[in-house]
Structure 1
Amino acid sequence: MPRREIISGNWAFAEAMRQINPDVVAAYPITPSTDIPMKFAEFVANGKVDTNFVTVESEHSAITACVTAAAAGARVMTASSANGVALMHEIFPIAAFFRNPIVFGLVNRSLGAPINIHCDHSDSMGARDSGWIQMYSENAQEAYDNLLMAHRIAEHPDVNLPVMVCQDGFITSHAVENVVLEDDAFVKEFIGEYKPEKYLLNKDESLSVGAYGVAAYYIEVKKAQFEAMKAAKKVINEVSADFAAKTGRKYGLIEEYRMEDAEYAVLLMSSSAGTGKDAVDALRAKGKKVGLIKIRSFRPFPAEEIAQAVKNLKGLAIMD
């Protein structure tokens, strides 16, 4: 049976990782995502997971270890923030090119300098065109749910792309709230067993990974990645629909809040959507026809869905 606990967004991420029980986690701590590998290390030490937890000397090494483990056929996860994410940037396109379905718990924090441990999206936005799927979470519940769904999305045969599941640093990662945690057996059944089709340790099929690609092959690979990203829109909706049927918590590429007769709306994402909904409710109480559109999937970008949502508006405020 599901249980309700009062936990932070970071602990929600860590709890989801425990339930997923990935083959490999490689991570290096950085504020404000430190709690995630810290709590997961407790799970490893206490025998709650079978994961090979790789403690490395930098975020660059962490994502490199993830790529190599995923190429070998492992289900892989990691977590990081801010300048740690920036240090990983060299490897992000490689993970996407290798079609590694890595799931990344990313806690958004501004890039230094000056040193600022608080939230903006400059870390994940720097990787928005690296070939990774990006999903943004309004609160700890959505962060937990998105992380569970991310494996189904990343590992789908029509996709096979890495996924960043983002939540706002401190605002979500450290704020404590009620979160419904699904039963361990449900999570195991929902995400299923990972069965990679192509991997380096498959003795029956030799592979060359990371070889030099001349221009024609380079374009062919990028075209395949592009088609996979397009396919991800359908897969995200399918997985979200299945999750909603089983849990009652409904998600899509975007969320429309009080948009039925709205004349004006605001478009935003992550934790600001919660504040925005309160503002919409306050203005609705005064008779104003306003609404809100929240982006959940930034990559693939829901252009058609947004266009449909705003077609009858007189005005739209975009909070970037």
Structure 2
Amino acid sequence: MAIRERMSGNEAVAHAIKQINPDVMAAFPITPSTEIPQMVSTFIANGDIDTEFIPVESEHSSMSATMGACAAGARAITATSSCGLAYMWEVLYVAASDRLPIVMAVVNRALTGPININCDHSDSMGARDAGWIQIYAENNQEAYDNYIQAFRIAEHPDVKLPFMACQDGFITSHAVENISLIETEKVKEFVGSYEPENFLLNADMPMAVGPYANSPFYMETKMNQRIAMKNAKKVILEVAEEFEKISGRKYGLFEEYRMDDAEYVIVIMGSAAGTTKEAVDELREQGIKAGMIKVRVFRPFPGAELAAALENAKGIAIMDRAESFSGCGGPLGSELKAALYDAKNESTTVNYFYGLAGRDYTVETACGIYQDLIDYVSGKQEAEQFKYIGLRK
């Protein structure tokens, strides 16, 4: 029986950690992810779990300690946001190249500067090429569900890559919603135990982790990471299929909303997808064939699959919650437009920037974007690329 509860996104992730009972958590506090290690340390103090909590002096150290624990054979986790993730930059690449299946909760927050504590995706998008799997949640339920699935994906023998389970700061992390929890025994059975084949404390198989690799070896390491990331796409779908059996909730690489006959489509990630769905419903009542695609998995990027889902769209708006200062658009925009080009999709496609540092994104805003698409497709106005939505006059 599913357990009905009311929780914030941070509470939901902390509860998932409690159910999984990992071996080690190293963490340093930073808003808005601080609550996650705070709650986990309380669980430990109360004797609810026997996770070893390592308080450290910085986020660089938290990732270093997590990496060391994982290399030693432990199921190891951490959590961070914004500048904390940026402070980990060096070690993110090391963890990925060492093929350590760390699971990190990333509560998305704008990167400095100027200083801001509200949501956008600049932190995790800045790390998008570090070799980590990245999955984004729309709401608290997905934050919980994604976190539980993360371990099966990251630890799969065909993958063995670290995993970022991302959710929008404050919007989901602190807002309380109704949520359906899975019984702890079912979660434990689903996740299983972590039994690495090779690890530092295995006296029968001496090994090195993170050795120096000169020119004859470095490229092969990167190629193997690429193969693992490609494998992850299939594993994500397999794990989602198994997760549906214990939860009743279905997940894929992305979610299609009213896409069967959609002509005008917004492609978006994270919590703003819920707002966009409301706009789609409103426009459908007016006879406008609006649709939406919510990208759940950003790494590995499902370019070919997204292009296939968009093949009948007349107008496509790609929404980025992070600026990359590129002539080709934001992180999502540049990658999806490249995939559409490869698929020879000639739809009118525009890339927008929205919601930076928590700027409001409303149903009215989304409806305006759909109207832009209608005007662009009809030729009423020329398509404008890289428009900032909600910019003050």
Q: TM-score scaled by structure 2?
A: 0.81
Name 2:254's counterpart in structure 1. 254
How many Å apart are 1:211 and its aligned residue? 1.3
Structure 1 runs (4+) deviating above 2 angstroms are none
Name 1:15's counterpart in structure 2. 15
CA distance in 1, matches of 2:211, 2:251: 39
CA distance in 1, matches of 2:4, 2:286: 35
How many Å apart are 1:246 and its aligned residue? 2.0
Name 2:374's counterpart in structure 1. none
Question: After superposition, where does 1:175-186 map in structure 2 within 5 Å?
Answer: 175-186=175-186
Name 1:286's counterpart in structure 2. 286
AA aligned to 1:114 is P
Aligned residues of 2:186 and 2:246 also touching (Cα < 8 A): no
AA aligned to 1:90 is E
How many Å apart are 1:2 and its aligned residue? 2.3
How many Å apart are 1:108 and its aligned residue? 0.2
Question: After superposition, where does 1:1-320 map in structure 2 within 5 Å?
Answer: 1-320=1-320
1:265 aligned counterpart, secondary structure: strand
CA distance in 1, matches of 2:209, 2:32: 34
Question: What is the aligned-residue RMSD (CA, Å)?
Answer: 0.6
How many Å apart are 1:115 and its aligned residue? 1.3
Q: Residue deviations 1:214-261, cap 9 Å, x none?
A: 112101111100000000000000000111122110000011000001
Aligned length: 320
Q: TM-score scaled by structure 1?
A: 0.99
Aligned residues of 2:133 and 2:164 also touching (Cα < 8 A): yes
Aligned residues of 2:258 and 2:290 also touching (Cα < 8 A): yes
Identity %: 60
CA distance in 1, matches of 2:2, 2:246: 11
CA distance in 1, matches of 2:78, 2:113: 24
Aligned residues of 2:263 and 2:289 also touching (Cα < 8 A): yes
AA aligned to 1:312 is N
How many Å apart are 1:89 and its aligned residue? 0.6
How many Å apart are 1:212 and its aligned residue? 1.2
Gaps of 5+ in 1: none
2:234 aligned counterpart, secondary structure: helix
AA aligned to 1:194 is Y
Q: Residue deviations 1:249-295, cap 9 Å, x none?
A: 00000110000010110000100101011110111111111100010
2:287 aligned counterpart, secondary structure: coil
How many Å apart are 1:84 and its aligned residue? 0.6
Aligned residues of 2:252 and 2:296 also touching (Cα < 8 A): yes
Name 2:384's counterpart in structure 1. none
AA aligned to 1:65 is A
Gaps of 5+ in 2: 321-393
CA distance in 2, matches of 1:267, 1:113: 27
Greater length-normalized contact order (CA 8 Å, ≥ 6 residues apart) = 1
AA aligned to 1:134 is Q
CA distance in 1, matches of 2:209, 2:245: 39
Name 2:359's counterpart in structure 1. none
AA aligned to 2:57 is E
